[in-house]
Amino acid sequence: MYRYNTEYLSKKDNQIFYLICHKYPNSCHIVNDKIQPKPIEDNVFREKIITYLSELSSKPEEGINDMYTNAKRQEEIEIRRQHEERERSKEANYFFNQSSSNATEDELEYWAKMPYWTLDEAVALAFGKSPEKISWDKIASYRDIASFPKKYMNTQKLTNRALLARELISEYDVSRDTYRIKPCDFVSWAERKGVQIPDGLKKRVLENGNKSINWQALYEEKCEEIEQLKKELENSQSQRKELTVKVRASTNSNRIPKMALAVIAKDKYKYGEDSGAIGIMLSYFTKHGLNMDDKTLRDHINEGLDLLKSKNLD
């Protein structure tokens, strides 16, 4: 009785059957619950099968189990490799991976001369694709089954956020609901962010007179200048406060002696009531070596009295 059902075989025989079929596909079957080579006209090949079956049968169960485990692992690797190969072959046939979707040398020259690119055009050109053949609208439906649309989407997100964050300078076209990006600015931003763009495109952008400006560096430079100006202003204000304090101190130092002189003249010498107060005070000052005329003394006293009056001290 011929059959392929291995449920009646022992674990070791099951593994042996797998191993021999793995090495020599479709070469054996089960006859009366035993592994037997199929009838084959090629006697040499049949002898190889019989010899291999004999070798496996003579091995201990542990050795067969190791061989079985390794064979299963190799089979899984091969299955995965074949799957990946089929996927690569399948993806290679998508229109966006065909060479016909790539930008030609003439197209790169044409787009390098453009005064600005839209976001979608910039991303397509970054991948070396023709913007007239590749756009997000055309490839969006493939994003779950192919790798290129996913890469395109990620670069588009990165670029869009750079525009919103003003890392990448642009103008917003309200009528077309899109950004206008200068080729030179996109090339400069891509270099800073490590976004790969075709060398041919970069070269043509520079050859067409587009000078890339590092707006981020320029912004940071201006921020540093502003911070320096703020520090200088703070220092100036601090110096002004110190000067004001000194002026006030100096002013007070001049006022206090005059007010003191006015107090003495009024309280001790009855200045204003006794017309002889000025003469007495001049005599006292002269006695101690202080020379002053009566007008100067009178002016100092009057100024001191005015200061006392302004402070409600009179």
Q: What is the pLDDT of residues 22-76, one digit of tens each?
A: 899 888 888 888 898 888 888 899 999 999 999 999 999 999 999 999 999 999 9
Q: Which residues have a Cβ under 8 Å from the Cβ of 307 and sit 6 or more positions away?
A: 255, 258, 259, 262
Question: Residue 227 is inside which H or E element, if any?
Answer: helix 215-267
Distance between CA atoms of residues 166 and 164, nearest Å: 5
Question: What's the pLDDT score for residue 2?
Answer: 38
Q: Which two tokens stand for residue 243?
A: 């000067």
Q: Sheet harboring 34-37: ordered strands across?
A: 2-3, 28-31, 34-37
pLDDT (tens digit, 0 to 9) for every residue of the chain, 314 residues total? 334 567 778 899 999 999 998 899 888 888 888 898 888 888 899 999 999 999 999 999 999 999 999 999 999 999 999 888 888 888 888 999 999 999 999 999 999 999 999 999 999 999 999 999 999 999 999 999 899 999 999 999 999 999 998 888 888 877 777 889 999 999 999 999 999 899 999 999 988 765 555 556 666 777 787 888 888 777 777 777 766 555 454 444 456 677 777 777 777 777 776 667 787 777 777 777 777 788 888 888 888 788 777 766 55
What is the predicted pLDDT for the residue at 5? 66
**Beta strand residue intervals within 129-246, DSSP E:** 171-173, 178-180
**What pLDDT score was predicted for residue 3?**
46
3-class secondary-structure state, position 103: coil
Q: What is the pLDDT of residue 219?
A: 65
Task: Give residue 297's pLDDT.
Answer: 80
pTM score of the predicted model? 0.49
**Rounded Cα gap, residues 220 and 229, in angstroms:** 14
- What pLDDT, on the 0 to 100 scale, is given for residue 54? 92
Phi, then psi, of 268 in degrees rounded to 5: -90, -40
Q: What is the maximum alpha-carbon separation in the chain? A: 158
Residue 98 is classified by DSSP as S
Model pLDDT, residue 1: 32
Instruction: Give me the pLDDT at residue 160, please.
Output: 93
What pLDDT does 175 receive?
A: 76
